[in-house]
Structure 1
Amino acid sequence: MKVFRHLMAAGFAFGIVGAAHAQVSSISTPPQGSVWNTMASVIAGQARESGGMRMVVQPYGGNAQMMQSVNEGLAEFSLNDVNDVITAVEGSGEYDAALPNLRVVARINPFPIGLYVKESSGMTSVADLKGKSVPSGWDAFPIARSHITAILAAGGLIWDDVTKVPVPELIRGSDDMASGRVDSAFFAVGGPKVAEVDASVGGVRFLTVDPSEENLAKIQKVRPAFYFSDVTPAPPRVGVKEPMAFVTWDNILVAGTHVSDEQVKTLLTVLFDEADAIGKAYPPLRALDLQTAYKAYPGLEYHPGAVAFFEERGVAQTPAD
């Protein structure tokens, strides 16, 4: 497979195959500046400090490469949208072949996403984007297609209501908004890139959506694990100007079947025994909660090491929404 050959080349470049691979645990992420990369960096740092793990963060170009790297044993862990993991295991959506070696380790946190604009634009809601430009294409980050489809739906719009401007991936999309090439950009709340753009353009704001039951049905037609969550303003949440609802999914930690039970249990021990330190280092991770971390998801299996960890901690599995 062509993607696999590229991943093998990346694996050799990062020195994570052979003997080195046995000594180092890696977390595959999108590029630097993304929320997942930042989260993984904090988790890896804590795992090195308090868990004695040799853990590194390994950036890739997008979700498909991240999932492929774990499935093929080139990375041990990854952070991803539960919806994308479901489609990866199924071999549906953006995945043309099933990736059967992915296992859930834990639910990490809810992940609100949105479209944001320059504050000077005067736009305040997704509905205001009618006739305006929205990033599209996403050849290197195809997961964004379904996310933006859901956000537009929650604002009462479809793709035909906006002007599509092709962008390759997440960071470039925000850069193009900052430069004026496109009117809006897509990102997660709390993303470092949003703060960077905010400082460079004199302020940004996320656009509001309508969290009605009708719109909930619309976004769940796009991906069944989407839901709405309420987000309040806070210093790390750049662009959130007032309490507002966001299209949201669950972030989950994923491991490959090649990862030992011991590695999984060690990382989970760090996550939940050092949750306060991790949350202080990156506020979105304050949502780490042992009691809600063992959640069932359709079509996904938990890693045996995770099952053993939660059983030892007396945590029962909660059903899927």
Structure 2
Amino acid sequence: MTPIKTFAAAALLAAGLAPAAQAQVQSFSTPPQGSVWNTMASVISGEARKSAGMRLVVQPYGGNAQMMQAVNEALAEFSLNDVNDVITAVEGSGDYDSPMPNLRIVARVNPFPVGLYVKESSGLTSVADLEGRSVPSGWDAFPIARPHITAILAAGGIGWDDVDQVPVPELIRGSDDMASGRVDSAFFAVGGPKVAEVDASVGGVRFLSIDANDETLEKIREVRPAFYFSEVTPAPVRVGVGEPMMFVTWDNVLVAGAHVSEEQVQALLTVLFEQREAIGAAYPPLLALNLETAFKQFPGVEYHPGAVAFFEDRGVEMTSDE
């Protein structure tokens, strides 16, 4: 038995589930508790239990590769992830040693703009201004940040060779190092609570602007094929965004295994869109759920047939960025 199978079996036994009950329980594989995807899965699962009687539980794993492996090997039914990471998992490229052919897209959930931010007092205003300055690198405990920062730098017209690379292990440490002055910039998603914390501790932060045009779009899609640009406007929760700005963006997607039945997929999709207001009240970023934009085409990945039937039954056509 592989380590991940042993872990999953132990988790079920620890929950005291009899074999008959195990067959009825569905699980969401996520990163550790406190992560965005764990929070989102917890909210969605809670609503599915409440409004539809679904027996959905959240099962945290050590990182993206483990949670995708759980779905691919039928140890979990659902997960949430950056669609670019799903694409690389299916391919067996990037941080994935072998292909995971059993992953299926269920729905686009919400856009996720990301950027590099700095202290307001730094005087830096654009990513291009980081030339010769320090940028967090390494990311051994959060490798998904590497391609994201690569794309942000490219959208600013520079690359890793143009900056001073300072190793950081993961997101929270990277922001703490920027606050302390160890590194000039930090990487985070727009609206992240950590950004607000740093803003309060250093007297103000700002996200750095990028050049969002056809040339830089081509460059960021060389890094990850489903990156795109989106405009973000100021709002109290969007600390560091003082004016309308363009950001490198990915889509969070709901993922299912090929082993999951069409009925199970359609039941969860029904909860997502019929209970959108309740889900969004529990976690406001999920108010971005939109039936009309949830069936989006992505390169290199398939939709689950249950999802295809769900959207077709509701007259929703597939969209794309093109």
Q: TM-score, normalised by structure 1?
A: 0.90
Structure 1 residue 226: Cα displacement: 1.2
CA distance in 2, matches of 1:22, 1:200: 49
Structure 1 residue 316: Cα displacement: 2.6
- What is the identity, as a one-letter code, of the residue corresponding to 1:10? F
CA distance in 2, matches of 1:182, 1:197: 13
Whether the aligned pair in 2 keeps the contact of 1:34 and 1:171 (CA below 8 Å) is no
Partner of 2:219: 218
Q: Displaced runs of 4+ in structure 1, greater than 4 A?
A: none
SS of the equivalent of 2:29 reads strand
Tell me if 1:37 matches 2:34: no
- What is the identity, as a one-letter code, of the residue corresponding to 2:26? S
Of residues 175-184 and 12-21 in structure 1, the stretch that sits farther from structure 2 once superposed is 12-21
Residue pairs, 1:184-263, within 5 angstroms: 184-263=185-264
Which consecutive unaligned segments of at least 5 residues does structure 1 have? none
The alignment yields a C-alpha RMSD, in angstroms, of 2.3
CA distance in 2, matches of 1:310, 1:31: 31
In structure 2, the CA distance between the partners of 1:111 and 1:306, relative to structure 1 (3 Å rule), is same
In structure 2, the CA distance between the partners of 1:173 and 1:32, relative to structure 1 (3 Å rule), is farther
- What is the identity, as a one-letter code, of the residue corresponding to 2:7? A
- What is the identity, as a one-letter code, of the residue corresponding to 1:7? I
Partner of 2:272: 271
Q: TM-score, normalised by structure 2?
A: 0.89
Residue pairs, 1:13-28, within 5 angstroms: 13-15=10-12, 19=19, 21-28=22-29
In structure 2, the CA distance between the partners of 1:255 and 1:116, relative to structure 1 (3 Å rule), is same
Of residues 138-147 and 13-22 in structure 1, the stretch that sits farther from structure 2 once superposed is 13-22
In structure 2, the CA distance between the partners of 1:155 and 1:95, relative to structure 1 (3 Å rule), is same
Structure 1 residue 289: Cα displacement: 1.1
CA distance in 2, matches of 1:10, 1:165: 34
Which of residues 7, 12, 18 is equivalent to 1:10? Answer: 7
Partner of 2:286: 285
CA distance in 2, matches of 1:178, 1:26: 38
Whether the aligned pair in 2 keeps the contact of 1:33 and 1:193 (CA below 8 Å) is no
- What is the identity, as a one-letter code, of the residue corresponding to 1:279? G
In structure 2, the CA distance between the partners of 1:157 and 1:61, relative to structure 1 (3 Å rule), is farther
Whether the aligned pair in 2 keeps the contact of 1:108 and 1:288 (CA below 8 Å) is yes
CA distance in 2, matches of 1:172, 1:24: 36
In structure 2, the CA distance between the partners of 1:110 and 1:180, relative to structure 1 (3 Å rule), is same
CA distance in 2, matches of 1:169, 1:149: 16
Whether the aligned pair in 1 keeps the contact of 2:225 and 2:299 (CA below 8 Å) is no
Whether the aligned pair in 2 keeps the contact of 1:105 and 1:306 (CA below 8 Å) is yes
Identity of aligned residues (%): 76
Of residues 27-36 and 208-217 in structure 1, the stretch that sits farther from structure 2 once superposed is 27-36
Whether the aligned pair in 1 keeps the contact of 2:135 and 2:186 (CA below 8 Å) is yes
Structure 1 residue 178: Cα displacement: 3.4
Q: In the comparison of the two structures, how many residue pairs are matched?
A: 318
- What is the identity, as a one-letter code, of the residue corresponding to 2:196? A
SS of the equivalent of 1:53 reads coil
Whether the aligned pair in 2 keeps the contact of 1:190 and 1:284 (CA below 8 Å) is no
Partner of 2:175: 174
Residue pairs, 1:309-320, within 5 angstroms: 309-319=310-320
**Higher alpha-carbon Rg:** 2
Structure 1 residue 13: Cα displacement: 4.6
